[in-house]
């Protein structure tokens, strides 16, 4: 339990996908103009991340690895399968959300399909492989990574909303300022380094 909590905290705060691995930066910068849309996208990312990482874990270890059901090393198919799983999952999530919660579907709007090309999702799956997590660890990593990304995008959106009333040099307005703000947030998150919950719950 302590180990899983540790992975969650680590992937959410210390190894934040957006603020220390630069993943999902494109949508991070493009969609962070208002808190409301940022909130919706962040939720969608947690959701998709929490589903695709365990599914991709399953694919990587049960189907593609040498000890898997085919008995041969198929890891060269990893990218194609991972991205197809992500695209299919996003489609599936979209259909489920549309059927059971039309209000959430409307508020997420175009952000759901956009998630397919959010590098945070594919990056999460690839990190899961390179860190050699087991199933429950990868679930915790997926949820934690999604949560960290959610926190980061909501925070930057709030700052950018306030920034609109500030007197920024013309050439720095918009994108340039967003980069510098993100850098400062990254510095703030770096101060969380060193949190260790391994002994938690023991």
Partner 1 sequence: MAEVKEKNAPAVEFGKEERKLITDPINDNNPITVQILGICSALAVTTLMNKALVMAIAVTAVTALSNMVTSALRNAIPKQVRMIVQLVIVATLVTIVELTLKALNYPIYKDLSVFIGLIITNCIVMGRLEAYAMANRPWRSFLDGIGNGLGYGVILIIVAFIRELFGKGSVFNFKVIGPNAEYLINTASSPLLSWYTNNNLMVLFPSAMFVIGIVIWAHRAWNKKLVDIS
Contacting positions for partner 1 (CB under 8 A)? 19-27, 29-30, 76, 78-80, 83-84, 87, 113-114, 116-119, 121-123, 126-127, 130, 169-180, 182-184, 186-187, 190
For partner 1, which is the closer residue by CB, 5 or 161? 161
In whole angstroms, the minimum distance from the beta carbon of 199 to partner 1 comes to 28
1 vs 63, beta carbon nearer partner 1: 63
Q: For the CB of residue 46, give the shortest distance to partner 1 in the complex, in Å.
A: 18
Decide whether 110 or 199 has the Cβ nearer to partner 1.
110
Q: How far is the CB of 30 from partner 1 (least distance, A)?
A: 5
**CA dihedral of residues 164, 170, 175, 179 (deg, nearest 10):** -90
In the complex with partner 1, which residue's Cβ is closer, 134 or 191? 191
CA dihedral 162, 111, 186, 132 (to 10 degrees): 160
């Amino acid at each position: 339990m302590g180990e899983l909590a540790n992975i969650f905290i680590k992937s959410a705060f210390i190894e934040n996908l957006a603020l220390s691995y630069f993943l999902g930066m494109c949508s991070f910068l493009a969609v962070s103009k208002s808190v409301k849309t940022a909130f919706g996208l962040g939720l969608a990312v947690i959701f998709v991340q929490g589903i695709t990482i365990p599914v991709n874990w399953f694919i990587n270890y049960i189907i593609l690895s040498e000890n898997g059901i085919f008995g041969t090393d198929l890891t060269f198919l990893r990218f194609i399968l991972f991205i197809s799983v992500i695209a299919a999952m996003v489609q599936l999530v979209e259909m489920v959300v549309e059927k059971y919660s039309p209000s959430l579907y409307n508020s997420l709007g175009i952000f759901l399909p956009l998630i397919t090309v959010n590098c945070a999702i594919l990056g999460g799956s690839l990190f899961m492989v390179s860190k050699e997590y087991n199933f429950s660890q990868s679930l915790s990593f997926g949820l934690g990574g999604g949560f960290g990304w959610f926190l980061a995008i909501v925070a930057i959106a709030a700052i950018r909303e306030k920034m609109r009333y500030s007197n920024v040099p013309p050439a720095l307005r918009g994108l340039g300022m967003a980069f510098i703000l993100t850098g400062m947030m990254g510095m703030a998150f770096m101060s969380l380094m060193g949190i260790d919950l391994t002994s938690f719950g023991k």
